[in-house]
Chain A
Amino acid sequence: AQKVTQAQTEISVVEKEDVTLDCVYETRDTTYYLFWYKQPPSGELVFLIRRNSFDEQNEISGRYSWNFQKSTSSFNFTITASQVVDSAVYFCALSGVRYNTDKLIFGTGTRLQVFP
């Protein structure tokens, strides 16, 4: 079975703090993909990153960075020097290639509130 766990329901920080959002996944697939999406108050999900299971290099994009560790089945997301505009719900998601159906399994999301 495939499963994504985001244990942090809600996180509150003050602007300029660093914050890490945790994501733990379960899958029996040897080839799979992990995603992060941002859902601002407007409702749409915004794609942030896709990482395949063979690429364990950490990635940095501006203030965002991602730490993928297969040994612990985790794909954590860090925002450095958080800003009020980062306030949103963040979803981690998993898809496998076994059936090539592109079905995304979402975690329950982490609501991040950044206060000025």
Chain B
Amino acid sequence: DGGITQSPKYLFRKEGQNVTLSCEQNLNHDAMYWYRQDPGQGLRLIYYSQIVNDFQKGDIAEGYSVSREKKESFPLTVTSAQKNPTAFYLCASSIRMGNQPQHFGDGTRLSIL
């Protein structure tokens, strides 16, 4: 079945540690996105990528980094510079940029040890 796979489902980070969240899609979509969701808040855009080897900062990119070396993959690294990383992270993709519906994975919950 086509879709977006995020792993792991739960992740724990120690102080000063970088962690990487995986996002893979087999929908043949050009555009991919990372969102952060905090309790009682809407989703906020961290990074997005319109095409392979290209990505742009979203509204809350500080403390995060991404890469887009393959069309199917858009991993997110939460660096030690992100002081409040505890949140639910959602990856999404759309067929292309231009207000198309976005399809979401089922998220990774990141917590601090």
A-side interface residues toward B, CB under 8 Å?
Answer: 4, 9, 33, 35, 37, 42-47, 50, 52, 91, 93, 95, 97, 100-109
For the complex, count residues of B whose C-beta is within 8 A of A. 27
B 4-46 contacts with A by CB, 8 A = 31, 33, 40-45
- Complex Cα distance, B101 from A110, in Å, reads 20
Q: A44-B104, A95-B99, A97-B99 are in contact. Are A102 and B31 (CB under 8 A)?
A: yes
Q: Does B56 contact A (CB under 8 A)?
A: yes
Interface residues, chain B, with chain A CB atoms under 8 Å away:
31, 33, 40-45, 48, 56, 58-59, 88, 90, 92, 94, 97-107
Expressed in whole angstroms, the Cα–Cα distance for A50 and B33 within the complex equals 18
Bound-state Cα–Cα, A52 to B44, Å: 22
Closest A residue, CB atoms, query B101: A47
8 nearest CB pairs, A to B: A106-B42, A44-B106, A45-B104, A43-B107, A33-B99, A47-B101, A102-B97, A106-B43
Cross-interface CB contact of B42 among A46, A101, A107, cutoff 8 Å: A107
Which residues on the B side are within 8 Å of A100 (C-beta)?
Answer: 97-98
B48 in contact with A91 (CB, 8 Å): no
Contact with A50, one of B42, B101, B107 (Cβ below 8 angstroms)? B101
Contact A108 B40 (CB under 8 A): yes
Other-chain contact of B48, A42, A50, A103 (Cβ < 8 Å): A103
On chain A, the residues within 8 Å of B94 by CB distance are: 102
Q: Is B48 in contact with A101, judged by CB distance below 8 angstroms?
A: yes
In the complex the two chains form, what is the Cα distance from A7 to B97 in whole Å? 29
Q: Which residues of A contact B106 (CB under 8 A)?
A: 42-44
- A to B CB contacts below 8 Å, 17 in the list: A45-B92, A45-B102, A46-B104, A50-B99, A50-B101, A93-B42, A101-B48, A102-B31, A102-B94, A102-B97, A102-B98, A102-B99, A104-B102, A105-B42, A106-B42, A106-B44, A109-B42
A109 to B103, CA, bound (A): 18
Shortest Cβ gap from A4 to chain B (Å): 7
